[in-house]
């Protein structure tokens, strides 16, 4: 329920940033939402309707490739954002385009970062970026920004190159804020002390595709045998890992440490 509230609020916040700051100045956001904004400006169709239609193919891809909870949260975000864009009136909150671009990008970045931390996404290019970030260790915001070059170019050809530069500022601000809040490129080392070592190990191997090392241990006070599971994950995976551990062994003890550097085959995981 907490994640649903965060995703709902954040998606509404994105819609306010679009309709109050970006759209009145013909500034695009990143991804499919930016394309939806552009089409909404040059056609009679509402941006919210276009955002929903453009996201449908990627949502179908997400259903096939990503987890049920993640894609459910993403569908919620896309739906709330599309409805909010339809309902919230377009209002020019500032007369300065550069302020609209910068603060619009920051607000969108904060909202998207919160959505990512709640184990969802706002759809569009985010789904592609999430698939790539699970296979390769790159900052998520940078991946999204890299795929937004076509949006900047389209803004320049359709509107003006001033608008394109303002769009670039907005996208850059969004990417930086997302990286700050989401920080998927930061590594974490987990030490999981549990009575259900095999069950937890199996769940981690199936859902994480990371290596797991198991050490036999004994409780100093109780004298009972336990297992210590050690694994290294990205910050992005933490929400899913915590949920998995809680479901498998709610009585386990987990120590989470930020890791400075990892050597070896991190992408595949070498400890089995």
pLDDT at position 272: 39
Residue 95 phi, psi dihedral angles, 5° rounding: -90, -10
The boundaries of every CATH 3.30.70.120 domain in the chain are: 187-259
Report the DSSP pairing between strands 187-194 and 253-259.
Answer: antiparallel
Evaluate whether 163 touches 101 at the Cβ level (below 8 Å). no
Euclidean distance between CA atoms 139 and 180, whole angstroms? 10
Q: What is the arithmetic mean of pLDDT over 211-238?
A: 83
**Full-model pTM:** 0.68
Which CATH class, in words, describes the domain spanning 187-259?
A: alpha beta
Which range among 99-108, 187-196, 232-241 shows the weakest confidence by mean pLDDT? 232-241
Which range among 34-48, 55-69, 222-236 shows the weakest confidence by mean pLDDT? 55-69
Tokens linked to 58: 């990627």
pLDDT in tens, 106-133: 999 999 888 887 877 777 776 776 666 5
Instruction: Calculate the alpha carbon distances from 250 to 35, 173, 221, 254 in Å.
Output: 44, 39, 20, 10
Helix runs in the chain, H state only: 2-17, 31-42, 47-65, 68-87, 97-117, 125-135, 140-146, 149-158, 161-182, 197-208, 238-248
pLDDT at position 269: 43
Burial of 247 (0-12, 13-18, 19+ CB in 10 A): exposed
Instruction: Sheet with 187-194: list strands edge to edge.
Output: 213-218, 225-234, 187-194, 253-259
pLDDT at position 267: 54
Euclidean distance between CA atoms 115 and 117, whole angstroms? 5
Residue 195 DSSP code: S
pLDDT at position 175: 80
Would you give the distance in Å from CA 72 to the centre of its chain?
13
Those residues whose C-beta lies under 8 Å from the C-beta of residue 9, and which sit 6 or more positions away, are 114
Residue 207 phi, psi dihedral angles, 5° rounding: -95, -25
Those residues whose C-beta lies under 8 Å from the C-beta of residue 56, and which sit 6 or more positions away, are none
Q: What is the dihedral of CA 154, 159, 165, 168, to 10 degrees?
A: -40
The mean predicted confidence, pLDDT, of the chain is 83
More confident residue, 258 or 182: 258
Residue 90 DSSP code: P
């Amino acid at each position: 329920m907490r994640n649903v509230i965060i995703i709902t609020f954040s998606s509404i916040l994105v819609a306010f940033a679009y309709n109050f700051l970006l759209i009145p100045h013909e500034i695009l956001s990143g991804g499919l939402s930016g394309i939806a904004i552009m089409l909404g400006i040059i056609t009679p169709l509402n941006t919210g309707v276009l955002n929903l239609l453009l996201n449908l193919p990627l949502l179908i891809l997400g259903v096939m490739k990503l987890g049920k909870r993640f894609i459910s949260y993403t569908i919620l975000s896309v739906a709330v954002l599309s409805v909010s864009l339809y309902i919230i009136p377009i209002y020019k909150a500032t007369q300065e385009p550069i302020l609209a671009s910068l603060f619009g990008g920051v607000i969108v970045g904060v909202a998207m970062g919160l959505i990512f931390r709640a184990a969802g996404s706002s759809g569009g290019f985010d789904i592609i970026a999430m698939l790539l970030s699970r296979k390769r260790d790159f900052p998520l915001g940078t991946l999204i920004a890299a795929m937004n070059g076509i949006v900047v170019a389209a803004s320049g050809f359709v509107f003006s190159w001033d608008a394109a530069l303002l769009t670039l500022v907005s996208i850059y601000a969004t990417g930086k804020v997302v990286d700050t809040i989401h920080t998927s490129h930061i590594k974490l080392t987990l030490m999981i002390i549990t009575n259900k070592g095999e069950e937890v190990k199996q769940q981690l191997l199936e859902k994480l595709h990371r290596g797991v090392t198991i050490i036999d241990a004994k409780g100093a006070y109780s004298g009972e045998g336990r297992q210590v599971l050690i694994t290294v994950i990205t910050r992005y995976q933490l929400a899913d890992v915590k949920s998995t551990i809680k479901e498998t062994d709610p009585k386990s003890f987990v120590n989470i440490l930020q890791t400075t550097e990892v050597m070896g085959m991190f992408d595949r995981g070498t400890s089995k």
